Amino acid sequence: MAQNFHVARRQVAVNNVLGLHLRAADKFVRLAKAFQSDVKVCCKGIIADGRSILSLLSLAAECGTMLAVEAQGCDAEDAVAALANLISAQSHESEDQIREAAC
């Protein structure tokens, strides 16, 4: 019996001035793990596991980089929508966060 999997995909730009850094990747992974679907992030021909901080960091996605967020599973549409919104909403780091990251 074939399983009925839904696939959803969305392109989104990294809006965070520091790019997809450790804190941003951690937020992404935590959100991705809240869904049942498998999540992948594609960037410049590299495919990262959306549930792995190290895998996401390997993308070295700077501010302005386009990412393709893809999910496969029963809640794929919801997962992609939430994750794409997270990436686009992380547009600004506070000055304190930038200073902390520089130390």
- Please state, as a whole number, how many other Cβ atoms lie within 10 Å of the Cβ of residue 18: 18
* 6 in catalytic set: no
Name which of 36, 39, 70, 74 is nearest 53 in CA terms.
39
Tokens read off for 31: 């959100």
Please, which residues have CB within 8 angstroms of residue 8's CB and are 6 or more apart in sequence? 70, 71, 76, 77, 79, 80, 81
Annotated active-site residue in 21, 39, 48, 67 = 21
Find residue 67's DSSP bridge partners: 12
- Which sequence positions are flagged as catalytic? 21
